[in-house]
Chains A and B, each alone.
Chain A
Amino acid sequence: MLKRVPAMLFALLLATGFAWAQAEDPPPAADSEETLSAEESEIAIDAAVFPGDGMIAPSNIVVSDWPNDAGDALLVTFDPGSETENDSFIGYTIYRRIQGTEEFQKVGLTELNEGTSFVDGYDPDFVVEPGVQYEYMVAATYLSGAEVSSEVTVAQEVASGQLYHSGKTRVLLGCIIFLGLILFYFYAAQRGVEMYLRPIAGIEAIDEAIGRATEMGKPILYVPGLSTISDVATIASITILGRVAKKVAEYGTPLLVPNRDPIVYTIAEETVKQGYMEAGRPDAFDKDSVFFLTQSQFAFVAGVNGIMMREKPATNFYLGMFWAESLILAETGSLSGAIQIAGTDAVTQLPFFITTCDYTLIGEELYAASAYLGREPKQLGSIKGQDACKGIIMAIITLGLLLSLTDLIAGTETLNWLKNIVTMPVVD
């Protein structure tokens, strides 16, 4: 008899649970066309682990279009029910379906501390389509897996893309000011306005370095960086290569241009060829002087280092974008006894070049080199335009410094005013 007690207790428990589940209040009936009963959905609520009677479900679901997007996100907000009083409450599960379909998709779960709003569309598995009418349901979810669902709500808005990102207004204003300044100096230079540019030692040394190689009868090595042509530093480097090639052609000095990127290689080859043509010596152009080595970073370095040690170039140019290989290249060049001119906008590689090269074009000087070498009015104008832009930034920094000091001394909060004007919000 005793052996049967657990089985009887289990049966009793099962019957009680079943009766309790049957006694569950039915979900409220639909009171309008826009509201459907949760019972219609395929979301099953496990009655056996229901957290308790009288629970109030989340309500008042408001769905609005997420601003400044491609029409692929919706903001879902809702009022909480009584679930927050329950210790086993873990968050809200958001369900979505296209209006007119039966099956709901679970599109997200907001954690307990994430509040009562949810941006639908960020999960690439559950994409929000622009212009599609959705229906939403929010379920308070408990540790046991039980859920108390809201009524189904038809989204008040559909997702739509915007034609202007309002969060980028300050970026736009900044662009207009800076573009305006650069264009102004472009045309001022074209009108013949005299512009003074401070001398840059690295650029002035280019002619000297080419002359040295000519005197020594040794080749010049030009590495146009390891990046692709989409990198502006590579474009700047190709521009300088054109000027160097012209000089080299005039002096009849051999030139070696190893490339890592095939597109850069084709452009470099054409540029060097053009340099020889401009110098009036197209016959002197050697097709093998510009060549593709490899796309592998350290294999490229090994190849270039090998050239340095075998050919012993008198002058090495490293102009463009470089990564970890910068020091290996420049140090090998230094050991080979070449005069070295480097230039990059990679801040982390600049110390290596400064240490090992004779001259280094720091950051923007690389972009300015082309204008310095060409001395064309528009090119010079662009440099003055950059300087004017930097002048504005320097003025803002000085103002910030003064306001900061004022705040420190007078206990005011004037710096916030400047911060609000110049700082950009984080935008997608």
Chain B
Amino acid sequence: MKRSVPLAIVMVGGILFMIQYFIPHQHSQTLFDYYTEWAPIVGAFALVLGVGSLTRLHSHKIKRKAKNWQYSYAVLIPLFGIPFFALIMPQSLGGGMMESMGGDRLTQGVFDFAYMNIQVPIQATMFSLLAFYIASAAFRAFRAKSALATVLLFAAIVVMLGQVPIGELIGKWFPKVGLWILRYPNLGAKRAIGLGVGFGVLATQLKIIFGVERNWLGGAGE
């Protein structure tokens, strides 16, 4: 029962929505819209499980006085503090309302302030690390260790210089060759991968619909 009911739901739903793609009738569209509106609700309920997991993990760390257990408070206090204050003091969250395009903020509560001035800059910092990592990754990738790596290095130089004004100053052919590499060999390879992915997705979906692949059921799969 634990296994057959989910499998039956997936099989019926999978076949139904496969057929639905070819039926433009309003009843078919209504069914699809109904499903797409309903599905995120399940996700909202699952968030409770996620919060439960986070709470359990960090409370265990605190209880066991595991390494760096103090940091667990930094997770748990905001995790419960923000919703708590949001319920009893909604104004503490602040607005996030903009008076007009580019205007001043109407209200700025404690958490709104913290979000805008702590979390957003931290996230931006994480994202900006990418630039440095790209440089170090490129350094490793472009080492001419073999004939193929040398080809890669040459192609990379042409493409990169073709994208910047100095490339055109070096030679008029730079941007053209760079564009050719992007449009033909590169696009061809990308499409080949895309095609393989497409068939892989198709086969995986069929395996799920027909119950060949059951690991997504978790413990009920076997």
B-binding residues in A (CB < 8 A) = 68-72, 130, 161-165, 168, 171-172, 175, 178-179, 182-183, 186, 228-230, 232, 235-236, 238-239, 241-242, 259, 261-263, 265-271, 273-274, 277-278, 287-288, 290-299, 301-302, 310, 324, 327-328, 331, 345, 347, 350-352, 354-356, 362-364, 366-368, 370, 376, 378-379, 382-383, 385-386, 389-390, 393, 428
Does B207 sit at the interface, judged by CB under 8 A?
A: yes
A165 (CB) vs chain B CBs: closest residue: B24
Q: Is B172 interfacial (CB-CB < 8 Å)?
A: no
Q: Indicate which residue in B42, B43, B54 contacts A292 across the interface (CB closer than 8 Å).
A: B54
- 23 intermolecular pairs with C-beta atoms under 8 Å apart: A70-B25, A71-B25, A161-B29, A162-B24, A164-B24, A171-B22, A182-B202, A232-B201, A262-B53, A270-B219, A288-B57, A327-B134, A327-B137, A328-B133, A331-B137, A347-B190, A363-B194, A364-B193, A364-B199, A370-B215, A379-B207, A382-B204, A390-B196
Q: Give the CA-CA distance A183 to B134 in the complex, in Å.
A: 43
B212 touches A165 (CB 8 A): no
Using known A-B contacts A72-B26, A386-B203, determine if residue A355 contacts B137 with beta carbons closer than 8 Å: yes
Interface string of B193-222 (1 = CB under 8 A from A): 111110111111111101011011111111
Q: Could you say which residues of chain A place their CB within 8 Å of the CB of B210? A: 186
Report the minimum CB–CB distance from A219 to chain B (whole Å): 13
| B129 close to chain A: CB less than 8 A | yes
The stretch that binds A, out of B96-104, B120-128, B158-166, is B120-128
The yes or no answer to B88 lying at the interface (CB within 8 A) is no
For residue A291, which residues in chain B have a CB less than 8 angstroms away from its CB?
Answer: 53-54, 57
CB <8 Å contact, B218 and A235: no
Contact B137 A263 (CB under 8 A): no
Q: Are A232 and B141 in contact (CB under 8 A)?
A: no
Once A229-B216, A386-B199 are accepted as A-B contacts, the answer to whether A328 and B23 lie under 8 Å apart by CB is: no
- Residue in contact with A296 in the complex, picked from B51, B123, B219, CB distance below 8 Å: B123
Q: B215 to A242, Cβ gap below 8 A? A: yes
Query: Is B21 in contact with chain A by the CB < 8 A criterion?
Result: yes
In the complex, chain A residues whose CB is within 8 Å of the CB of B60: 288
**Does B56 sit within 8 A of A, measured CB to CB?**
yes
Interface contact A385-B194, CB-CB below 8 Å: no
Question: B145 contacts the other chain (Cβ, under 8 Å)?
Answer: no
- Assuming A269-B53, A298-B126, what are 19 further A-B pairs, CB within 8 angstroms? A162-B24, A165-B23, A232-B205, A242-B221, A262-B51, A263-B43, A267-B218, A270-B218, A270-B220, A277-B219, A291-B53, A292-B49, A295-B50, A298-B127, A299-B126, A355-B140, A363-B197, A367-B200, A390-B199
Which residues of chain B come closer than 8 Å to A351, judged between CB atoms?
Answer: 141
In the complex the two chains form, is B129's CB within 8 Å of A328's CB? yes
Q: A274-B222, A324-B127 are in contact. Are A262 and B26 (CB under 8 A)?
A: no
Interface string of B39-67 (1 = CB under 8 A from A): 10011001111110110110010000001
Which residue in A168, A230, A324, A382 is a CB contact (below 8 Å) of B212?
A382
Could you say which residues of chain A place their CB within 8 Å of the CB of B57?
288, 291
Instruction: Encode contact with A along B9-31: 1 for CB under 8 Å, 0 otherwise.
Output: 00000000010011111111100
Tell me the bound Cα distance from A183 to B207 in angstroms.
Answer: 9
Q: Could you tell me which B residues sit within 8 Å of A by CB distance?
A: 18, 21-29, 39, 42-43, 46-51, 53-54, 56-57, 60, 67-68, 119, 122-123, 126-127, 129-130, 133-134, 136-138, 140-141, 190, 193-197, 199-208, 210, 212-213, 215-222
Bound Cα distance A351, B212 (Å): 32
Given known contacts A130-B26, A324-B130, A274 and B219 CB-to-CB distance under 8 angstroms: yes
A411 to chain B, nearest CB (A): 24
Q: Is the CB of B218 within 8 A of A262?
A: no
Within the assembled complex, what's the spacing in Å between the Cα atoms of A273 and B51? Answer: 20
Contacts of B28 in A (CB 8 A): 70, 161
Given contacts A302-B122, A327-B130, A367-B200, contact A310 B67 (CB under 8 A): yes
Min CB–CB distance B18 → chain A (angstroms): 8
Q: Are B24 and A266 closer than 8 Å at their CB atoms?
A: no
Q: How far is the CA of A70 from the CA of B207 in the complex (A)?
A: 31
User: Which of A239, A293, A352 is within 8 Å of B215, CB to CB?
Assistant: A239
The interface residues of chain B lying within 8 Å CB-to-CB of A172 are 22
Whether A288 pairs with B46 at a CB distance below 8 angstroms is: no
CA distance A296 to B119 in the complex (A): 10
